Structure 1
């Protein structure tokens, strides 16, 4: 904001200059199929996080399999009902936790209209 011109005419010229520069960059992008002076940056994911996620997923799947094998839950209607209710409760709890962890989305506030007649806002007459 400190780099913007202070006068309305200066801001208007600055906007025109920025627009012309944007059009130039866009034309170069269409011509080269890439932005000028851009370098491809590898933003690869760290291997450590992948190993952690795969390890935890494997541990949970193996533990669940061994628990179900040990408890014989899936061998009777009572066990199937218990497993289905447990899965439903876990799903509902996860949805609640996801809802609470999301950021609030607030609409942007528009600036009040600027008048060009010395501060008085005039209504349009039809």
Structure 2
């Protein structure tokens, strides 16, 4: 038996110009954001809400649905008119030719879809952090200072 569940999501966007520039400041900002996040989770657990703001539901625009439906009807009617005009479906040879044509179009569409997809993200390559003592071993640096 499958039980229904809900997922509650709270998103907050930050402009890049609002973020700190130094490594230490970014680290402190991240810690502050975790504290804020924990507060929001505690509030959500108690009140079943993230904030006093009204929830926004994400809906698919009606315009895109109308455009897709219109194009589907237009292409379907055009294909039916073409098949009726060419009489391809009146013989086995025409049916085989139509099936081969449909298979070729399907393969080409799959290739185009694969090439148009964005590449999978990979972890950023980070240069090793430089030691704060200028890269010298701590004993050598202490000896130089004496």
* Common topology (TM > 0.5): yes
CA distance in 1, matches of 2:23, 2:83: 73
Which consecutive aligned stretches of 4+ in structure 1 deviate over 6 angstroms post-superposition? none
Matched, 1:18 2:33: yes
Gaps of 5+ in 1: none
State the aligned residue count. Answer: 121
Gaps of 5+ in 2: 1-16, 138-146
Return closer, same or farther for 1:107/1:121 CA change in 2, 3 Å cut-off.
Answer: farther
For normalisation by structure 1, the TM-score amounts to 0.71
Structural RMSD (CA):
3.0
Local SS of the residue matching 2:56:
coil
The correspondence of residues 31-110 of structure 1 with structure 2, limited to 5 A, is 31-110=46-125
Match of 1:4 in 2: 20
| Structure 1 residues 24-63: Cα deviation after superposition (integer angstroms, max 9, x where no partner) | 1112222333322342224444433322221111111122
Pairwise CA distance, 1:90 = 0.5
| Structure 1 residues 35-94: Cα deviation after superposition (integer angstroms, max 9, x where no partner) | 223422244444333222211111111222232233332232201110111001101211
